[in-house]
Amino acid sequence: MSGYDHAADGWRALPGAPLPGGLGIPWAKRVDGIWRYGMPTEADHANNNGVIHGGVLMAFADHGLSFMAWEAAERAPCTTIQLNTHFLDAIKPGEFIELRGEVTRRTRGLVFLRGTVGARDDQNVRDVGAVDGIWRVLRPR
């Protein structure tokens, strides 16, 4: 366990936007005008090696970047058309993970994003994943 108290550090739950597959409720925090998204990890998120399954990290990153794409598209619905994930370090059950991301390009129909997933303890954030992708903006025809 990390001992990090995300609620006391200003993170707020987003119960209206649960992660897919019963992975839990995402959390959000605005830092210097930029949204960050977080998720507490649990033992049932782990693989047979005892660390958080890569698919959990990918689903979390996709969900968080999708929030950012939605904001960049002026709250129009978006769908992921490409997601690249690079695993940098293992995540232990109980660690709080957070996504820091940015829009790198936006057109009328596409939003390009990249981000870093970190595992947080009381003092530091350790980078555990790098992600980038493309989201299609779904506009009425």
The predicted structure's pLDDT at residue 3? 80
The predicted structure's pLDDT at residue 139? 82
The predicted structure's pLDDT at residue 2? 61
What residues in the chain have per-residue pLDDT under 70? 1-2, 141
Q: Decide which of 3.40.50.970, 3.20.10.10, 3.10.129.10, 3.40.50.1980 is the CATH code for 12-137.
A: 3.10.129.10
37: three-class secondary structure by DSSP: strand
Give the C-alpha distances (Å, rounded to integers) separating 91 from 20, 41, 53, 66, 133: 19, 9, 8, 22, 22
Sign of the alpha-carbon dihedral angle for 91, 121, 37, 44: positive
Q: How far apart are CA 32 and CA 36, in angstroms?
A: 10
The predicted structure's pLDDT at residue 131? 98
pTM > 0.95: yes or no: no
